[in-house]
Chains A and B, each alone.
Chain A
């Protein structure tokens, strides 16, 4: 999922300055899991904004706002509300905000679409409702087959491909003593699998061209450009 955190209310209000009638859009996908933009969080923010003097004219929470196939059918029947709004505020990732903008543009509106969250990356849920962790960098060139299913590109603070730096102590990273050294984890995993010899292989520098932004995925062809 895409991890999100809430922007402080003051920042949201500053973004909405000059706009009175607000259309709130949530996301019942990733933002729901992060407890930042599901139906409940949208309702809670609606109340806070109302207390701050805003007129909340509609609340809508598509299942996955970043997917036009989900957000389009939810927003299209609400065109009169969108027409009446001074601005939309989206509680979703940056992708959800931009898809919401594109959907409104397609409907012929030129409305400000503001964001109420900060996107913090591709996150994998470890403890539901409590903790998610970045375990994949979407680099376009997966090397998990070589590293025991643990990604050094993401979990090593320096994205080292050929083993640890000298900074780890007692299996912990030099950047954060609470964090496991990814390479010690990889080593232990490969040792348990009896595959330490595999770890001795030199891994070439990554082709960061495969992660060069903005990437476009052509789903039918399975092609990225």
Chain B
């Protein structure tokens, strides 16, 4: 099911995210890899699950293979695709493969730089940017490759994109968002935002575009993790007040506190837009109770 269809129906779209394992995930009768189990556990509470593409430039199981594994479990995957590791031939080819293997949703991103990952000597590709990727993916949906060559059969993919409301100057980020829409973006997931004012300012700038937006929320798991994100994860700022709030409980209470904060932010910020995208970083068990509360609000 395409996410765009859910938005069209006026549904408040809730998605979550898993990161493929660093390793082969052939099951051979054993238990499924953890990320699949994680997705299975939340399957009845979310509309779809993002599958990250060598997240943070760390080499892992491929996003397409992992997306197909999710699909086989009855979970709707959102296949994340970055421009970091593949040139325009490989990206187009993988879009054809994705559609062939039953993928309905693709999230087109630039990708974290190689230098942030575990293969720093690798050659960064960045042959095209995320705006180009959207343009090209739309072309494949219309039955032609980026050189204008006809396809024997067009793809049929819902095209998602990302935007960072924390970016300064916001005007520049909005400019890129508009380009993404012009080139084919049909829905957006935002970078994690914790400051309601920042998100409200962004929403006011973006609501005229009439493209559905999902509020992005990385679950804060501990004060240390929040501090780490502030220091090492570009484009995300966790306000001091939130870090203090997390630190106000003992370590064995972090999960309960994380759930409380996640629900609060989802209510306050998520309801400003058309959906929420959770990034639980392994704490997927928080998603069902938070979603249950949100659905009670009619979301």
- Where the two chains meet, the residues of A that have a C-beta atom closer than 8 Å to any C-beta of B are 157-171, 174-176, 183-184, 187, 196, 199-200, 202, 204-205, 208
- Kindly supply a per-residue 1/0 record for chain B positions 171-182, scoring 1 wherever the CB is within 8 Å of any chain A CB and 0 otherwise: 111011011001
Measured between beta carbons, the chain B residues less than 8 angstroms from A174 are 112-113, 116, 234-235
What is the CA–CA distance of A225 and B235 in the complex, to the nearest angstrom?
42
User: Within residues 151 to 199 of chain B, which ones have a CB less than 8 A from any CB in chain A?
Assistant: 162-164, 167-169, 171-173, 175-176, 178-179, 182-183, 191
Residue of A nearest to B179 (CB): A162
Of B5-13, B73-81, B122-130, B254-262, the one contacting chain A is B122-130
Would you call B234 and A163 a contact (CB within 8 A)?
no
| CB of B219, distance to nearest CB on chain A (Å) | 19
Would you call A202 and B182 a contact (CB within 8 A)?
yes
Determine if B146 is an interface residue (Cβ-Cβ < 8 Å).
Answer: yes
Determine if B205 is an interface residue (Cβ-Cβ < 8 Å).
Answer: no
The answer to whether residues A205 and B169 also contact, given A166-B163, A199-B175 and a CB cut-off of 8 A, is no
Measured between beta carbons, the chain B residues less than 8 angstroms from A157 are 113, 115, 124
Would you call A175 and B164 a contact (CB within 8 A)?
no
What is the CA–CA distance of A163 and B167 in the complex, to the nearest angstrom?
12
Measured between beta carbons, the chain A residues less than 8 angstroms from B235 are 166-169, 174
Q: Identify the interface centre among B146, B162, B179: most chain A CB within 10 Å of its CB.
A: B179
Measured between beta carbons, the chain A residues less than 8 angstroms from B71 are none
Measured between beta carbons, the chain A residues less than 8 angstroms from B172 are 163-164, 183-184, 187
The answer to whether residues A205 and B167 also contact, given A168-B235, A199-B175 and a CB cut-off of 8 A, is no
Would you call B132 and A162 a contact (CB within 8 A)?
yes
Q: How many residues of B contact A (CB 8 A)?
A: 38
30 A-B pairs within 8 Å (CB atoms) are namely A157-B115, A158-B83, A158-B84, A158-B111, A158-B129, A159-B129, A160-B110, A160-B126, A160-B129, A162-B129, A162-B176, A163-B175, A164-B167, A164-B173, A164-B176, A166-B164, A166-B234, A167-B235, A169-B234, A174-B235, A175-B113, A175-B116, A184-B172, A187-B171, A200-B175, A202-B182, A204-B132, A205-B88, A205-B129, A205-B132
Residue of B nearest to A164 (CB): B172
| CB of B160, distance to nearest CB on chain A (Å) | 14
Determine if B137 is an interface residue (Cβ-Cβ < 8 Å).
Answer: no
Would you call B167 and A168 a contact (CB within 8 A)?
yes
Would you call B162 and A167 a contact (CB within 8 A)?
no
Residue of A nearest to B162 (CB): A166
What is the CA–CA distance of A187 and B173 in the complex, to the nearest angstrom?
10
Measured between beta carbons, the chain A residues less than 8 angstroms from B169 are 184, 187
Residue of B nearest to A162 (CB): B131
Would you call A165 and B88 a contact (CB within 8 A)?
no
Measured between beta carbons, the chain A residues less than 8 angstroms from B173 are 163-164, 166
Measured between beta carbons, the chain A residues less than 8 angstroms from B182 are 202
| CB of A190, distance to nearest CB on chain B (Å) | 10
The answer to whether residues A200 and B116 also contact, given A184-B169, A205-B88 and a CB cut-off of 8 A, is no
Would you call A165 and B110 a contact (CB within 8 A)?
yes
What is the CA–CA distance of A208 and B124 in the complex, to the nearest angstrom?
15
Measured between beta carbons, the chain B residues less than 8 angstroms from A166 are 110, 162-164, 167, 173, 191, 234-235
What is the CA–CA distance of A183 and B172 in the complex, to the nearest angstrom?
8
Would you call A202 and B179 a contact (CB within 8 A)?
yes
Q: Please tell me which one of the listed residues A159, A183, A196 contacts residue B126 in the complex, with CB atoms under 8 A apart.
A: A159
| CB of A220, distance to nearest CB on chain B (Å) | 33
A163-B175, A166-B164, A199-B175 given; 4 more Cβ-contact pairs under 8 Å: A162-B131, A166-B167, A166-B173, A202-B135
